[in-house]
Amino acid sequence: MGDEKKIPEGQTPPDASHDSPWETALAQLDEAAELMGLAPGVHEILRVPKRSLIVSVPFRMDDGSTRVYQGTRVHHNVTRGPAKGGIRYHPDMGFDETKALAMWMTWKCAVVDIPFGGAKGGVAVDPREHTRAELERMTRRYASEILPFIGPERDIPAPDMNTDEEIMAWIMDTYSQNQGYSVPGVVTGKPVSIGGSKGRGGATSRGVMYTIFSTLKRLGLGIEEVSVAIQGHGKVGGFLGQLLHDAGCRVVAISDVGGGLYKERGLDPEAINRHKREAGSVVGYPGADPITNEELLQVDCDVLIPAAIESVITVKNADRIRARVVCEAANGPITFEADRILVDRGIFVVPDILANSGGVTVSYFEWVQDIQAYFWTEEEVNDRLRLIMERSFDAVYDLAEAKGLTMRQAAHWIGVGRVAEAHLTRGLFP
């Protein structure tokens, strides 16, 4: 298939050597479209978000002054169901990044075959600069501004970087106040007391763990034989370290935004979690060697888990990665060209749209429970999650083996293919 089909007419192909998440997302889609022989019309539709909203978020500070931030919400695709995606509070939250994250959510939902499309949104704010009361007023104003976009049949937000279940509760309450009755299904990742699902808090971490176990099984490695390094100690990385340690893995490196720790014989994640609660960072934990986040990526280990932010493995450091497996717990931690370098070096890469899909999977469970007003036990949630993660991994791995693809190419083949099939089945309106 020629390049005229790979890039829709009138559009410039992204410079994949750049580290922009949006350029990476487009390059991944274009590669999948070429491999699949995707119809050019459908390919062009999938390159462009369905709808995007940029809003002003003014709110009152504790001292009575007014602060204004920019908020966004992007729906990449809703062909297979309502839009689904997190809300992120981060000072560098840009529009292009939001589009990329929304696109990845579309493929993620399709890979695990749940009936959602992709969305993402947030506010360009550093939440550490505000009191909890200020964050509540900001959140409620942001929720008010995006009200036309969200709803249990339209778009269901969830927690993401620097947001939590309490922030979801504020959004749910703001939406419900406008509707005149409680609507628990408008968000997921909320407290159990108002319709949240048991098992949702650690679902992304648990899904990554199940994916790693499936990978080790296919590669012929025992769980207790492997060493693991985790970059990122937030909602995903912190709990994931504990899960893997408890399962028998040797966690040799852990880091957060302030820096990291290394110990060849293995760290104690529970003790590190206690230290972080007291000190505010993993830095300074006794009995381990201090390392930088960049050094952690180059640690000699069996499994490297980037669980922090986008674009941390690039062409500048991909040749220094020494792990046998890289499992993307974060969204987009490897740039397009860096991914090719890792694959050429024989490193087994488990892509984000497969590896970290446990969170949206249990969000789907929560949404179903809210609609039915019938709730499951935590054991039921975890069992259903494990089955979906294992089934999805096997489908991606088997396709990669059958067609000689990388795991990322196979995952996009399945995800993009399911969305494309839905488009072709529904037809083009009008």
The CATH number of residue 309's host domain is 3.40.50.720
Statement to judge: residues 167 and 247 lie in one domain = no
Burial level of 99, CB count in 10 A (0-12/13-18/19+)? buried
Choose among 158, 136, 152: nearest CA to 185: 152
Tokens of 219: 């590669």
Domain termination residue (choose one: 324, 355, 386): 355
Statement to judge: residues 123 and 219 lie in one domain = no
Do 321 and 174 meet the contact criterion of CB atoms below 8 Å apart?
no
Which spans in 112-202 are helix H? 132-145, 165-179
Do 203 and 358 meet the contact criterion of CB atoms below 8 Å apart?
yes
Statement to judge: residues 163 and 272 lie in one domain = no
Q: Measured between alpha carbons, how far apart are the two ends of the chain, in Å?
A: 29
| Average pLDDT value over all residues in the chain | 93
Statement to judge: residues 260 and 302 lie in one domain = yes
How far is Cα 125 from Cα 339, in angstroms, rounded to an integer? 30
Asked if residue 329 belongs to a domain, the reply is yes
Statement to judge: residues 261 and 129 lie in one domain = no
Q: Which residues of 155-178 are buried (b: 16+ CB within 10 A; e: fewer)?
A: bbbbbbbbbbbebbbbbbbbbeee
> Could you give the 3-state DSSP secondary structure of residue 135?
helix
Domain that holds residue 277: 203-355
Active-site amino acid positions? 120
Statement to judge: residues 215 and 183 lie in one domain = no
Asked if residue 293 belongs to a domain, the reply is yes
Asked if residue 328 belongs to a domain, the reply is yes
Give the model's confidence band at 19: pLDDT under 50 very low, under 70 low, under 90 confident, else very high: low
Do 210 and 281 meet the contact criterion of CB atoms below 8 Å apart?
no
Asked if residue 271 belongs to a domain, the reply is yes
Q: At residue 1, does pLDDT exceed 60?
A: no
Q: At residue 319, does pLDDT exceed 90?
A: yes
Which domain CATH number covers 151? Answer: 3.40.50.10860
Domain termination residue (choose one: 340, 355, 370): 355
Total number of residues shown for the chain: 430
Statement to judge: residues 178 and 226 lie in one domain = no
Asked if residue 427 belongs to a domain, the reply is no
Asked if residue 307 belongs to a domain, the reply is yes
pLDDT at 235: 86
Residue 50: CB atoms within 10 A of its CB come to 18
> What residues contact 119, with CB distance under 8 A and at least 6 apart?
73, 74, 75, 76, 83, 84, 85, 102, 105, 155, 157
Q: Give the model confidence (pLDDT) of 227-280 as tens digits.
A: 999 999 988 999 999 999 999 999 999 999 999 999 999 999 999 999 999 999
Statement to judge: residues 165 and 219 lie in one domain = no
Do 260 and 237 meet the contact criterion of CB atoms below 8 Å apart?
no
Q: At residue 7, does pLDDT exceed 50?
A: no
Give the model's confidence band at 3: pLDDT under 50 very low, under 70 low, under 90 confident, else very high: very low
Statement to judge: residues 345 and 303 lie in one domain = yes
Do 312 and 306 meet the contact criterion of CB atoms below 8 Å apart?
yes
Statement to judge: residues 163 and 243 lie in one domain = no
Statement to judge: residues 247 and 143 lie in one domain = no
pLDDT at 11: 37
Which spans in 226-346 are helix H? 237-247, 269-279, 293-297, 336-344
Q: Give the model confidence (pLDDT) of 173-214 as tens digits.
A: 999 999 999 999 999 999 999 999 999 989 999 999 999 999
Give the model's confidence band at 34: pLDDT under 50 very low, under 70 low, under 90 confident, else very high: very high
Asked if residue 384 belongs to a domain, the reply is no
pLDDT at 237: 93
How far is Cα 24 from Cα 38, in angstroms, rounded to an integer? 19
Statement to judge: residues 282 and 308 lie in one domain = yes
Which amino acid appears at position 415 of this protein? G
Domain termination residue (choose one: 194, 228, 250): 194
The domain total for the chain is 2
